Amino acid sequence: MEERYEQQNEIGRGGIGTVYKGIHTLLRRDVAIKELREIFSVFGDIQKDTIIDKFERCVQDHARLVHPNIIQVLDIDTDRQYPIFVMEHAPAGSLRDLLNRPEKPSLSDRLNIFLQIAQALRYAHRVGVIHGDLKPENVLFDAEGNVKVVDFGLTRIIERDSRSQQIYVGVGTVAYLSPEQFRNPKDVTFQSDIYSLGILFYEMLTGKLPGRRSPMPSSFYPNIPRKLDDIFDRMCMDAEEDRYESVDAMIEEFLASEEVTALLGRVTAGAAPMMSAPMAPPPAAAPAPAPAPAPAPAMSAPAPQAPTSSASLPAARPVSSSAAMPAVSAPAPQAPAPAPAPEEEASGDSDSDILAKLNKYAGKF
């Protein structure tokens, strides 16, 4: 393993470990290496075995996720002083970096980033994997500005000891934790991720974290459609059963709003999140083009473990060079939706309808 990867500079540290930039020595490709040094330094030998066990299971879960908006896990090594896993390197910084910049991306660009995060989560949930620690630090960008979510399930490596009630490091980040996770980190569910996504959404819209009596996003910025207030509100309900039943349901409502899809259509061409130049004005509204040969970034990759048949999904298209993206404008997508599969519920959009909408609007950088 040591020979296979050349470890370079430290990128940063979190609650669980330290991330280094690295190079796969044979392939000469950049990688990121996460080393569990911090956590290992505070636990005894017996606990270390348990941690390694959990680490392996968590990384295996993460590795099952093959999606254009999720960092791909490439390798693991637990047979060394500090266990590591190797993943794709995301060179364009994190959503935290982006939110810290004085020059904020346009609302359209932020909504597109949000939609990509939601799609990553939607896919992970369909495969049965909970993130558990969604926050801007765990949303990264590749060189084309596509979202790459990292650290799925890693907070499960360390859990609260139910007898001592002591909370260890790495259980999640307080501001984004759902009430049930806050009470007991082991209670993390799909709905907990939806809650964290809601907090993240509010922060992306307003630049602030929501508090109990915070105003709704549209009262900060009147250009924010009221529908987005409702979507935030429903994601962040205290009771899990009051939140959306799935990320799918949230995305469906998001894309059902013409006001929102009109904004999504105004993505800045070639707007990578880390751009430093001022953004170009939004392209003039034009009639929605027919699905172009120019590829949309990657929303169409079939979900291999998803419950629905991938046969009904649109064919995968390669990730585009962002400059090649045609302007997309509202209203709703023109792509013909295949007939719903018999087992699908009668109400709501079918799976392929939603995928068709996603293909149309998401990932336009």
Ligand X SMILES: Nc1ncnc2c1ncn2[C@@H]1O[C@H](COP(=O)(O)OP(=O)(O)OP(=O)(O)O)[C@@H](O)[C@H]1O
Q: Which residues are the active-site residues?
A: 133
Judged by CB under 5 A, does residue 138 bind Mg ion?
Answer: yes
For Mg ion, the closer of residues 122 and 135 by Cβ is: 135
Cβ pair 130, 190 in contact under 8 A: yes
Shortest distance, CB of residue 45 to ligand X, whole angstroms?
Answer: 23
Residue in this structure with the two tokens 């298209």, named with its chain if needed? 317
Q: Which two tokens stand for residue 299?
A: 């929303």
Q: How far apart are alpha carbons 273 and 100 in whole angstroms?
A: 12
For ligand X, the closer of residues 133 and 180 by Cβ is: 133
Q: List, in sequence order, every beta strand (DSSP E) within 156-250.
A: none
For ligand X, the closer of residues 136 and 326 by Cβ is: 136
35, 109, 142, 151: residue in contact with Mg ion (rule CB under 5 A): 151
Shortest distance, CB of residue 265 to ligand X, whole angstroms?
Answer: 30
Handedness of CA 211, 132, 304, 68 (dihedral sign): positive
139 binds, among Mg ion, ligand X, none (CB under 5 to 8 A by kind): none
For ligand X, the closer of residues 8 and 219 by Cβ is: 8
Q: In this chain, which stretch among 14-22, 37-45, 296-304, 350-358 interacts with Mg ion, using CB under 5 A?
A: 14-22
Cβ pair 68, 244 in contact under 8 A: no
- Interface ranges with ligand X (CB under 6 A): 11-17, 19, 32, 71, 87-90, 94, 133, 137-138, 140, 150-151, 173
3-class DSSP assignment, residue 152:
coil
Q: In this chain, which stretch among 45-53, 137-145, 179-187, 260-268 interacts with Mg ion, using CB under 5 A?
A: 137-145
Judged by CB under 5 A, does residue 173 bind Mg ion?
Answer: no
Judged by CB under 5 A, does residue 88 bind Mg ion?
Answer: no
Cβ pair 272, 322 in contact under 8 A: yes
Query: For strand 18-24 and strand 5-13, is the pairing parallel, antiparallel, or unpaired?
Result: antiparallel
Q: How far apart are alpha carbons 270 and 35 in whole angstroms?
A: 34
Question: How many residues form the binding site for Mg ion (CB under 5 A)?
Answer: 3
Beta bridge partners of 21: 32
Task: Determine which helix (DSSP H) or strand (DSSP E) holds 47, and give its type and residue range.
Answer: helix 45-63
Q: How far apart are alpha carbons 202 and 232 in whole angstroms?
A: 7
16 binds, among ligand X, Mg ion, none (CB under 5 to 8 A by kind): ligand X
For ligand X, the closer of residues 173 and 268 by Cβ is: 173
> Interface with Mg ion by CB under 5 A: which residues?
14, 138, 151
